[in-house]
Amino acid sequence: MAEDARRNSSGLQGKFETLHEFVKAARLKLAPPVWDYVVGAAETETTLKRNRYAIDSVAFRPRVLNDITGGDTSGTVMGKKARLPVMLAPVGGLERLDPEGGAAAARGATLFGVPQMLSSVSDPGLEATAKAASGRKFFQLYRRGPDSLTDEIVNRAVDAGYEAFCYTIDSAVYGRRERDIARRVSNRSAINDGGDNRQQSLSWSEVKRFKDKHGAKLPLILKGIQTAEDAAIAVDHGVDGVYITNHGGRQLDHVRGTLDILPEVVEAVRGRAQIIIDGGFYRGTDIVKAIALGANTVAIGRLYLYGLAAAGDAGVARVLEILEHEIRTCLSLIGCTGFHQVTKSHVAAAPSVTMPHVFSAFPLLNLADDGYGGR
C-alpha cells in the first residue's frame, strides 16, 4: 500500500495520463518568448532534429518467453541507486516557468526519487534550492571570474549538500538562437561573463586544477563531451562523470545526435567514469535505448520543463511517474525484469519512420491545433 502511494505521489493521476498532455498544458501557460526558449535551438535547429532522429533510428530486438515477474525500473545515477536511471538536467532560468524555479524542480525530483542537477543560472540559487528539498542534488557551473570565485562556489556547494560538481564546457560563446533573435529577446545571461571571458578560457588545465584542489571533496562531471577523443582526455584527467550533450541543439548547429555519439564515448571511457547523456530523450523507450547502448544515466531537460510549467513540482513528479510506467512497459516487452538485463543485443539500427522535430515524440499533439510552434 505504501509503495502504491509513493508511486502516485504527485497527486495528478487522472489529470495527466500521457506525457503529451503536459506539452499542451505548458504551451497554454507560457508566454511566446518563454515557450520559444523552451522548445527552440540554434540557427536551423538541425542539431535538435538529429537528437530525435538518432533515437528514432534505433529499434528493439525483443526476447520472449522470459519470466518477467517482479520487474524493477531502478538504476544508477553517479554510481548510486535511483528510482530510475534518470536525473533532471541543468536548465537556466527555471523561474521563467515556475515562480519557485529550481526549488520547485528540486521538490518534484525528490518527491519522485531521482536527483536534480541545478544550473548556476537558475533562481533561487544554490543554497535556497538545496534547502527546498532533501533529495540528491548536483551543481552545474558556468565558470565566471577568477579561480578564487570558483573555489568559493565549490565550498558553498559542499556545505549545502551537493554531491557532485559539473562544468559546462560547450558554451565558450553563445549559440545563435534565432527564435530569440527574431523576437528581439535575449537569454544571454546564462553564459555572460561580464567581460571576464572565463567561460571562453576554460581548458584542460582548469580540469586538472579542480581535481587537484577539490577532487577529494566532490566528484567532477564535464558536460558537453561529443567525441571519443575528449572523453578519453577527460578520464585521463580523473573526471568522474562524462556527460554527453549538444546542449539540446542550442549551441552549435549541425552536430550529431547524442545517441549517435554514445557508442564511441563508451568505447573510449571503458568503464573508468560514469556516462550521462541528454538530447531529445522524451519517452520511456528512449531511456531504455540509451542504457542498452552503454549510458549509465539519462538526463531529461525539456520533458521536465513541460511538467514544471504545467503544474509546478507536482508536474515534475507526475512526468517522472508516467515515464516510469513507459519504462516498465518497455522492459517487460523486450523480456527484461530490469536494467541489469538490458544489453546492446536488445537494440539494432533501423530506418526512422518519423520526420524529426521538437515534438516528434508526441504524435498525438496533432489531434488538436492548439497553436504549437516548433514544427
Report the catalytic residues: 247
User: What CA–CA distance (Å, rounded) separates 50 from 44?
Assistant: 11
Contact 223, 169 (CB under 8 A): yes
Cα dihedral across residues 319, 322, 324, 329: positive or negative: negative
* DSSP state string for 233-266: HHHHTT-SEEEE--GGGTSSTT---HHHHHHHHH
Contact 289, 61 (CB under 8 A): no
For residue 338 the three cell numbers come to 530490469
Contact 330, 279 (CB under 8 A): no
Strands (E), the chain: 58-60, 75-77, 80-82, 86-88, 116-119, 137-141, 165-168, 220-225, 241-244, 274-277, 297-300, 347-349
Strands 241-244 and 274-277: parallel
What's the burial of 226, exposed, middle or buried (CB within 10 Å: 0-12/13-18/19+)? buried
